[in-house]
Structure formats: C-alpha cells, structure tokens
Amino acid sequence: MNKEWEKKAKQAQKETDAEMANQIVQLSSIKQKEIDQLVAENKMDTAEFNQLIKLIKDQTKSNNDKIKSISNIQNGLELLVGLVGKLI
C-alpha cells in the first residue's frame, strides 16, 4: 500500500510541477525548457522549486520575511536571479 501511495504522490507532484511551470511560461516570455534548465543548473529538486514559488506567492508574508525564507532554500536566490534575468 505504501509503494502505491508513493507512486501516486510522485505522479501528482509531476503534474503539479508541470502546471506551475506552464503558468510561468504563460505569464512570461520564459520557455518551459529554460525553467527546467534553471532548476537543473541550480541543483534544485521540484519540491524546493514548488516551495520557492509558493513562498513568493504568499501574500501573508512581508518581503523581508520572504527573503529570510528564500535564503533557507538551497540555491533559491540563484534560481530567482536566473528567472528575473530571463524576464528583463
């Protein structure tokens, strides 16, 4: 039962990751391939990437709180700098 649950959870994570990346692509000129490349270059797993995006979208936190939290995510700042670089 545990293995089946883990399999379903991994599939749900993949679908969520794809949806999140698709939203970024639609809202910007960044291509899916570029997002995948940034995540890989920064050795960030999808859970960390999702945590980073959720943190940025969290409107209950101040910018200072977000900065502190992002600094706790390995390579989070580097990935954000890469994304901003592609946007401008």
Q: Are 71 and 65 in contact (CB under 8 A)?
A: no
Q: Given a cut of 60, is residue 83 above it in pLDDT?
A: yes
Overall domain count for the chain: 1
Domain assignment of residue 81, given as a range: 2-87
Quote the pTM value.
0.55
Q: Sorting pLDDT into bands at 50, 70 and 90, what band is 27?
A: low
Count CB-CB contacts under 10 A for residue 58: 11
Please give the average per-residue pLDDT across 60-88, as a whole number. Answer: 82
75: left (phi over 0), alpha (psi -120 to 50) or beta: left
